[in-house]
Amino acid sequence: MVQLGAYLADPPAYSLKVHEIPVLPADKDSYISFLKNEFLKVRETLGNGVIICMNLATIKLEWGLEATEFFYEAGGDIAEWNFHGTYEPYYKQGKLKAMVYPENRDELFK
């Protein structure tokens, strides 16, 4: 089994570039295409029998459901959710990325 790195299901942030790393695409076709390409890389390296898991964090149930649906449509096997109600205060303050990006670690530790 291979677990893809954690993805944040946060449509308002899709297609933004932070640290030159693209966030998942907003539209369904691009999202599925992106994941299929990631799966292809894994399967070319480890074989078609490998199980692919995706770690998904979200603050809104509907965002997580949509992201999971696209993951399965792309050919993924297991979706692991990290559904944290405690994300919401950070989200409302515009500081959710403090949990993700290194330049915000000092504030997160506070």
The reported pLDDT for the residue numbered 46 is 95
CA gap 27, 14 in Å, rounded: 9
The reported pLDDT for the residue numbered 100 is 61
The reported pLDDT for the residue numbered 20 is 43
- Local confidence pLDDT in tens for the 110 residues of the chain: 998 877 777 666 665 554 444 456 767 898 899 899 999 999 999 999 999 999 887 777 888 888 899 999 999 999 998 765 566 676 677 666 666 666 666 766 66
Closest CA to 12 of 53, 62, 49, 69: 62
**pTM of structure:** 0.70
